[in-house]
Structure 1
Amino acid sequence: MIALLLALGSSLAYGCADFLGGLGARKAHVLRTVMVAAPASLAIELLLWPVLGASFDPGAIGWGAASGVASAVAFALLYKTLALGPMNVLSPVTALVSAALPVGVGLIQGERLGTAGLLGLPLALIAVVLVSAGHGAGSSRPSRTALLLAFGAGAAIALQLVFLHQAPADSGVAPLIVGRAVSTAVTLTAAGVLRRRLGREKPAYAMSAAAGVLDSVANLLFLIAVRSGDLTVVAVITALYPVGTVLLARSVLAERIHRGQLVGLGTAAVAVSLLALTST
């Protein structure tokens, strides 16, 4: 049950981070937003080091660095995917792949689910798609390139989660620190190479920094959750992060929640309840 609650917290934090990051990216080039968010994330993880401890053994460094590279790749592919559109088709594809691959890894590694879990898991995957999708999903069809990029983005997100799961359980926050340092270095390098394309608009500093802080919180909660529970359950609950984004968009931007998304929210509630039975 503790792992499930931590996964729910991780999902909510990821959703809030995406919402704030998305708003920030409207004001300036997305790399400018990340140039603020990434160092803010790293600062939070460094502050957690004396509190939660960190053991920088080869396993923590290797898996942490791998998660950082996957995070940077996921970011680049995700925004390229959404730029090509249509978002209401490609976003659920990305979310579904990011959930399904860790589930497969967990099952291959020997994790087993009871009856409630076997019912809750597919319901949660369905909820991910329904909540992620906007209205009019059938209005246009994505290109083959856009679909491949969506699968790639989802796979990169999934690999980031899997790599964090593989890090030694006694390494504390070391994998997060290493991963964030690597992803920050990759992002700053990309910003340097593309500096002429970034424009002159200043990023929303407070909003971008808040997104980075929330992303660190989400990563931390996920890491603790997978150390105390099954990757299959934690990954699929974490992938419900669009719920937080949708609810914030409704309350802050007055965006309408469409019928399919309402069904998705209800489906998510049922799935979480079933998975909670599995976790008790």
Structure 2
Amino acid sequence: MIALLLALGSSLAYGCADFLGGLGSRKAHVLRTVMVAAPASLAVELLLWPFLGASFDTRTLAWGAASGLASAIAFALLYKTLAMGPMNVLSPVTAVVSAVLPVGVGLAQGEDLGLAASVGLPLALASVVLVSAGPGGGSARPARPALLLAFGAGAAIALQLIFLDQAPSGSGVGPLIVGRAVSSAVTLAAAAVMRRRLGSEKPAYVMSAAAGVLDSVANLLFLLGARSGDLAVVAVITALYPAATVLLARRVLAERIHRSQLIGLGTAAVAVSLLALS
């Protein structure tokens, strides 16, 4: 139950962070947004260090750095994807990809699912697909480049989560700190190389920083959830993050929610209930 609640909290935080990051990237080049979001995320993890502890052995450094590199790629691809829109289609597409890969890894590692989880897990995956269903006739259709970016973002997110799960369970927030330090360094280096192409537009500082803070909270909740439960279950519940993005896009941007997405949200509620019984 604790792992499930942590995964739900991670999902909510990821969804809100994605919405703010995508919205902020409409005002300036995506790298300008990430240049604010990544350091803000690192600051949160450094503040948590005295309370949650951290170790930095070789495995922590290796898996943390790998997750940081994947995170930097995910940040850039995801925010660029959501900036192109429509958010209510592209955000769920990333979730489908980000859910499938960790589930495969978790099952390959021999995670033993009970009867309720064996039913709830496929339902949760189905709910992610339903929430990701194509738009209705009155909704804007995403361009092919946006869809390709969404698939790439989903794969990068999946790798980030898998790498975090591989870090030693006693390392505290060490892998998060290493990962965010690496992603911040990669982002700043990329911005320096591409400085002439970034344009003169200023990023939405508050929105971008808030996205980074929420992303850090989401990473922490996922890490704690994966340490106390099965990666396959935690990853799928975390992958429901588009629900928050879709609802915010509906509320703030007046983007249409397709009927299948509503069915997907209902299916997710059933799946979460079953997983809570496992």
Counterparts in 2 of 1:245 and 1:173: CA distance versus 1, 3 Å: same
Mapped contact 1:88–1:134 kept (Cα < 8 A): no
1:57 and 1:226, CA in 2 relative to 1: closer, same or farther beyond 3 A? same
CA pair 139-42 structure 1, distance change in 2 beyond 3 A: closer
Q: Which residue of 2 aligns with 1:50?
A: 50
CA distance in 2 between partners of 1:99 and 1:31 (Å): 25
Q: Evaluate the alpha carbon distance shift between residue 19 and residue 83 of structure 1 in structure 2; reply closer, same or farther with a 3 A threshold.
A: closer
Instruction: Give the distance between the partners of 2:252 and 2:262, measured in 1 at CA.
Output: 18
TM-score, structure 1 normalization = 0.90
Determine the structure 1 residue equivalent to 2:184: 184
Q: CA 1:200/1:39 → structure 2, altered by over 3 Å: closer, same or farther?
A: same
3-state DSSP class of the match of 2:240?
Answer: coil
Do the aligned partners of 2:41 and 2:216 also contact (CA within 8 Å) in 1?
yes
2:203 partner SS: coil
- State the secondary structure of the residue aligned to 1:56: coil
- Are 1:269 and 2:231 an aligned pair? no
Question: Shift in Å at residue 191 of structure 1?
Answer: 0.9
Please state how far the C-alpha of 1:189 moved relative to its aligned partner. 0.8
- State which drifts further: 93-102 or 204-213: 93-102
Q: Distance in 2 between matches of 1:190 and 1:133?
A: 34
Look up the equivalent residue of 1:122 and give its one-letter code.
Answer: P
Matched position secondary structure for 2:267: helix
Name the structure 2 match of 1:123: 123
Determine the structure 2 residue equivalent to 1:71.
Answer: 71
The aligned counterpart of 2:105 is 105
Q: In the aligned structure 2, how far is the partner of 1:176 from the partner of 1:231?
A: 17
Q: Which residue of 1 aligns with 2:215?
A: 215
| Distance in 2 between residues matched to 1:75 and 1:9, nearest whole Å | 19
Indicate the residue corresponding to 1:31 in structure 2: 31
1:254 Cα deviation from its structure 2 partner: 3.8
2:270 maps to amino acid: V
AA matched with 1:227 = R
What is the RMSD of the two structures over their aligned residues, measured on CA atoms?
2.3
Farther off after superposition, 175-184 or 27-36: 27-36
Cα distance in 2 for partners of 1:147, 1:24 equals: 20
Return closer, same or farther for 1:91/1:47 CA change in 2, 3 Å cut-off: closer
The worse-fitting range, judged by mean Cα deviation, of 87-96 and 102-111 is 87-96
Q: Kindly provide the amino acid, as one letter, of the partner of residue 256 in structure 1.
A: R
Query: Once structures 1 and 2 are overlaid, which stretch shifts more, 258-267 or 45-54?
Result: 258-267
Q: How many residues are aligned here?
A: 277
Label 1:148 to 1:248 Cα distance change in 2 as closer, same or farther (>3 A): closer
Q: Tell me if structure 1 keeps the 8 A contact 2:22–2:81.
A: no
- Tell me how far apart the structure 1 counterparts of residues 44 and 142 of structure 2 sit (CA, whole Å): 41
Q: Structure 1 CA distance, aligned partners of 2:79 and 2:173?
A: 28
Query: Where does residue 238 of structure 2 map in the other structure?
Result: 238
- The answer on whether the counterparts of 1:72 and 1:183 sit within 8 Å (CA) in structure 2 is yes
Take 1:90 and 1:225, find their aligned partners in 2: how far apart are those partners?
26
Contact 1:27 1:202 in 2 (8 A): yes
CA distance in 1, matches of 2:61, 2:154: 23
- Structure 1 runs of 4+ off > 4 angstroms? 79-91, 137-143, 145-150
Contact kept, 8 Å, 1:94 with 1:151, in 2: the verdict is: yes
Relative to structure 1, the CA distance from residue 173 to residue 256 in structure 2 (aligned partners, 3 Å threshold; closer, same or farther) is same
* Distance across 2 between alignment mates of 1:148 and 1:26: 19
CA distance in 2, matches of 1:82, 1:203: 15
Q: 1:107-156: per-residue Cα shift (whole Å, max 9, x none)? A: 1111021222122112111211222345238986965x776654433222
1:62 aligns with 2:55: no
Give the direction of change, closer, same or farther, for the CA distance of 1:81–1:44 in structure 2 (3 Å limit). closer
Deviates most, 78-87 or 29-38: 78-87
Q: Is the 8 A contact 1:94 1:150 kept in 2?
A: yes
With over 3 angstroms needed to count, the CA separation of the structure-2 counterparts of 1:183 and 1:4, relative to structure 1, is: same
Q: Is the 8 A contact 1:89 1:142 kept in 2?
A: no
Counterpart-to-counterpart distance in 2, 1:132 and 1:181: 32
For structure 1, list consecutive stretches of 5 or more residues without a partner in the other structure: none
Q: Give the Å deviation of 1:260.
A: 1.5
State the SS of the aligned residue for 2:25: helix
Name the structure 2 match of 1:158: 158
Give the SS at the match of 1:27.
coil
